[in-house]
Amino acid sequence: MARRSYNSNGGIGFICVCVVVMSVVVSGRPTTFLEDFRVTWADSHVKELDGGRGIQLLLDRSSGCGFASKRQYLFGKVSMKIKLVPGDSAGTVTAFYMNSDTDTIRDELDFEFLGNRSGQPYTVQTNIYAHGKGDREQRVNLWFDPAADFHTYSIRWTHSLIVFGVDDIPIRVYKNHEAKGIPYPKQQPMGIYSTLWEADDWATRGGLEKIDWNKAPFYAYYKDFDIEGCPVPGPANCPSNPNNWWEAPSYQSLSPLEARNYRWVRMNHMIYDYCTDKSRYPVTPPECVAGI
Ligand SMILES: *[C@@H]1O[C@H](CO)[C@@H](O)[C@H](O)[C@H]1NC(C)=O
């Protein structure tokens, strides 16, 4: 009896180990939400899906919500798949950004998805803060409905350039022009953040279109979180290691295909560029002159 019972326990134990090992291998990268992130705003409005591989953010009259990475990173590539608020999303803003969390010399890389009335295009606003100075907004209207399906949004950050990608198509590039005295984020690590909130005083058609609370709650979905970068705190030599894949020569500028796609976005989908806004900047900002 003792032996049989030992055997059967052993058998069950073995099956359990198998399942655990398999699920680890299958998930690999992308990781689960809670492995790398934590909820920072309104726990009740963030729901894990699919065993933690995805999440749902909710915005209603009582609150928006948000999450952040547990660690900060210095250089690398961050990506996630997002499905934005569908239908009448005017007045809602979904953001995905990196931020150094330092008040005076803030570095920040922003994606902001500005909702719109049903049938009107979502706008993606990007902005870059380097050493405390922002005000570098650009806007593109997306060429697909980002609420119909998941799409991949990424930030690639190397010593030479920063690339904002939508399904691997660059929509924004910020080059390191330090040699010309232009600030470039590279001294401080940044955390990864996301929020869903109401900003109908400015978001849609400059604040003319208000949020329709009758359509609430509003939902955005996330999955396939992928962070490849140097965690800080972490190995001290990681950020300067030339063997990191993102520091390879081929990633220090756009590939020919990326450059072609980037031109296509700028020619066909860009609706605002601070570089050419003469009423705001009578003198063209130096990074625009140096080439973006
Ligand atoms: C919303 O749609 C209008 C009309 O097509 C467009 O002008 C605007 O850029 C869109 N985006 C926002 C955020 O207002």
The domain that contains 193 carries what CATH number? 2.60.120.200
The reported pLDDT for the residue numbered 291 is: 82
Q: What is the pLDDT of residues 2-58, one digit of tens each?
A: 333 323 333 333 333 333 333 333 333 557 899 999 999 999 999 999 999 999 999
Using an 8 Å Cβ cutoff, are 38 and 67 in contact? yes
| 289 vs 283: CA distance, rounded Å | 10
Using an 8 Å Cβ cutoff, are 61 and 232 in contact? no
| 173 vs 165: CA distance, rounded Å | 9
Looking at the DSSP bridge assignments, the partners of residue 124 are 113, 140
User: Do 23 and 143 belong together in one domain?
Assistant: no
Buried b or exposed e, range 79-118, using 16+ CB within 10 angstroms = bbbbbbbbebbbbbbbbbbbbbeeeeebbbbbbbbbbbee
Tokens for 269, please give them.
């989908």
Instruction: Report the percent of the chain where pLDDT is more than 90.
Output: 88
The reported pLDDT for the residue numbered 103 is: 83
| 165 vs 257: CA distance, rounded Å | 13
SS3 of the chain: helix, strand, coil, percent, to 5: 25, 35, 40
User: Do 260 and 193 belong together in one domain?
Assistant: yes
User: Do 85 and 119 belong together in one domain?
Assistant: yes
Compute the average pLDDT of residues 111-131.
Answer: 97
User: Do 163 and 185 belong together in one domain?
Assistant: yes
| 186 vs 130: CA distance, rounded Å | 9
User: Do 95 and 63 belong together in one domain?
Assistant: yes
Closest ligand 1 atom to the C-alpha of 209? 14
User: Do 248 and 211 belong together in one domain?
Assistant: yes
Question: For residue 99, is pLDDT > 60?
Answer: yes
Using an 8 Å Cβ cutoff, are 290 and 175 in contact? yes
Take atom 4 of ligand 1 and give the residue whose Cα is closest: 120
Residue 67 pLDDT grade (very low, low, confident, very high; cuts 50, 70, 90):
very high
- HSE at residue 11, side-chain half, CA atoms within 13 A, is 6
Whether 116 is in the pocket of ligand 1, judged by its Cβ within 6 Å, is: yes
Whether 93 is in the pocket of ligand 1, judged by its Cβ within 6 Å, is: no
User: Do 6 and 59 belong together in one domain?
Assistant: no
User: 64: helix, coil or strand?
Assistant: coil
Q: How far, in Å, from the CA of 167 to the mean position of ligand 1?
A: 22
Q: How far, in Å, from the CA of 209 to the mean position of ligand 1?
A: 9
- HSE at residue 283, side-chain half, CA atoms within 13 A, is 1
The reported pLDDT for the residue numbered 131 is: 95
User: Do 48 and 180 belong together in one domain?
Assistant: yes
The residue to mutate among 84, 89, 94, 123, having the most atoms of ligand 1 within 8 angstroms of its beta carbon, is 123
Q: What is the pLDDT of residues 154-163, one digit of tens each?
A: 999 999 999 9
Q: What is the pLDDT of residues 199-216, one digit of tens each?
A: 999 999 999 999 999 999
| 250 vs 232: CA distance, rounded Å | 25
Provide the domain limits for residue 4. Answer: 1-29
Compute the average pLDDT of residues 124-142.
Answer: 97
User: Do 23 and 103 belong together in one domain?
Assistant: no
User: Do 45 and 21 belong together in one domain?
Assistant: no
Residue 104 pLDDT grade (very low, low, confident, very high; cuts 50, 70, 90):
confident
Q: Residues with catalytic annotation?
A: 108, 112
Using an 8 Å Cβ cutoff, are 122 and 269 in contact? no
Compute the average pLDDT of residues 78-92.
Answer: 98
- H-helix or E-strand containing 23? helix 2-27
The reported pLDDT for the residue numbered 7 is: 31
| 37 vs 203: CA distance, rounded Å | 27
How far is the first Cα of the chain from the last one, in angstroms, to the nearest whole number? 76
User: Do 70 and 199 belong together in one domain?
Assistant: yes
Whether 125 is in the pocket of ligand 1, judged by its Cβ within 6 Å, is: no
Whether 121 is in the pocket of ligand 1, judged by its Cβ within 6 Å, is: yes
Residues 6 or more apart in contact with residue 11 via CB below 8 angstroms: none
- H-helix or E-strand containing 286? helix 286-290
Q: How many domains does the chain have?
A: 2
User: Do 18 and 155 belong together in one domain?
Assistant: no
The reported pLDDT for the residue numbered 265 is: 98
User: Residue 109 is which amino acid?
Assistant: L
Looking at the DSSP bridge assignments, the partners of residue 96 are 111, 194
